[in-house]
Amino acid sequence: MSRKKQISKFRYNIYAILSVVVFLILWQLIVSLGYGGIIPSPVVVFRTFLIKMTDSRPDGSTLPTNILVSLQVACTGLFLAIAIGVPLGWLMGWYKGIDRFVRPIFEFIRPIPPISWIPLTIIWFGIGLGAKSMIVFFASFVPCLINAYTGIKETNKTMINVARTFGASNFKVFTSVAIPSAMPLTFTGIRIALNSAWSTLVAAELLAANAGVGYMINMGRSFGRVDIILVGMVSIGIMGYIFSYVFKKIESVVVKWRTV
């Protein structure tokens, strides 16, 4: 990296840190001046955060335990959605027969909001990992499938013809032309899925859970502990950020041809 580039990168990092610092100072100022209402100051929230690392009151689990429970649910649901949704989307995009067969069911399930699955899954699976993973799965399955499907559909016709003139079979064209060219859109789908996974996860935990970050937030409300609510919200924000960062890194490795 050139020196000039390094300096500008450093400068943008400074901007990013400044924005967070300014936000925290404003928050503290508003609370200190008495305009905060029930909102606790960032210092209080940070203290609660530290205490919550080891203290299981008031909701019954420490913050790391809650985060772990939520992560487990999110990862299970998301993993299943990717593992089923992406290949199915690819196959539907390439093979008309599969498309015709799956589409009616898919189009029927698609408009049902993931959250409306919650009551059914509670009755079905109780309030454990299974139920919530199911809900996360439903929320993230749809964007995974649609984007994988569209990626295949948008495969450049010339590239398909190139492979065909080289004598490639239909399956070979699918695996060596259509799937690689569908990769960027597939990853876009996974990133959208990531977002909907988090939002439905928290909604599910608000309604049906005995641990997890969403559950902790809900308990914070029951006990009138706004600091607990804020700790929960900030944790979700940070986890979501880390998740999309990790996926972006994976994406830049898998589809590096697109970013050069």
Partner 1 sequence: MDKKLRLRINEISKSYKLKKKDYHKVIDSLSLDIFDNEFLVILGPGHCGKTVLLNIIAGLETPDVGFVELDGVKIDGPNPDMGMVFQKTGVFPWLTVMENVELGPRFKGEAKSERRERAQKYINLVGLQGFESHRPPQLSGGMKQRVGIARAYTNNPEILIMDEPFGALDAQTRYSMEEEISNIWSIEKRTVIFVTNNIEEALALGDRIVLLTECPARVKEIYEVNMPRPRDLMSEEFLLLRQKISENTDLSIDSEV
Interface residue with partner 1 among 39, 183, 207, 233 (CB under 8 A) is 183
Stretch that binds partner 1, among 70-78, 88-96, 109-117, 176-184 (CB under 8 A): 176-184
Give, as ranges, the residues between 134 and 163 that touch partner 1 (CB under 8 A).
156, 158-159, 161-163
Question: How far apart are CB 140 and partner 1 at their closest, in Å?
Answer: 25
Under the binding rule (CB under 8 A), the answer on residue 240 touching partner 1 is no
Q: Give the integer Cα–Cα distance in Å for 97 and 49.
A: 54
Q: Give the integer Cα–Cα distance in Å for 244 and 260.
A: 21
Q: Give the integer Cα–Cα distance in Å for 70 and 215.
A: 9
Q: Build a one-symbol-per-residue string for 98-137: x at contacts with partner 1 by CB under 8 A, - elsewhere.
A: ----------------------------------------
Under the binding rule (CB under 8 A), the answer on residue 91 touching partner 1 is no
Interface residue with partner 1 among 180, 207, 240, 244 (CB under 8 A) is 180
Question: How far apart are CB 256 and partner 1 at their closest, in Å?
Answer: 8
Euclidean distance between the first and the last CA atom of the chain, given in angstroms as a whole number: 15
Backbone angles phi, psi at 57, to 5 degrees: -80, 150
Under the binding rule (CB under 8 A), the answer on residue 252 touching partner 1 is no
Under the binding rule (CB under 8 A), the answer on residue 253 touching partner 1 is no
> Which stretches within the chain are classed as H helix?
3-32, 42-52, 63-94, 96-109, 118-125, 129-153, 157-165, 170-173, 179-207, 213-222, 226-254, 256-259
Q: Considering CB under 8 A, how many residues would be counted as binding partner 1?
A: 21
Name the residue nearer to partner 1 (CB basis): 116 or 169: 169
Name the residue nearer to partner 1 (CB basis): 84 or 168: 168
How many CB atoms sit inside 10 A of residue 77's CB?
A: 27
Interface residue with partner 1 among 57, 103, 221, 258 (CB under 8 A) is 258
What's the residue count for the chain?
260
- Specify whether the CB–CB gap between 160 and 176 falls below 8 A: no
* Cα–Cα distance list, 129 to 75, 82, 121, 137 (Å): 11, 18, 11, 12
Report which of 230, 193, 190, 208 is spatially closest to residue 69, judged by C-alpha positions.
208
Stretch that binds partner 1, among 132-140, 165-173, 197-205, 234-242 (CB under 8 A): 165-173
Q: Give the integer Cα–Cα distance in Å for 62 and 238.
A: 17
Under the binding rule (CB under 8 A), the answer on residue 168 touching partner 1 is yes
Question: How far apart are CB 157 and partner 1 at their closest, in Å?
Answer: 9
Binding site for partner 1 (CB under 8 A): 156, 158-159, 161-168, 172, 176-177, 180-181, 183, 255, 257-258, 260
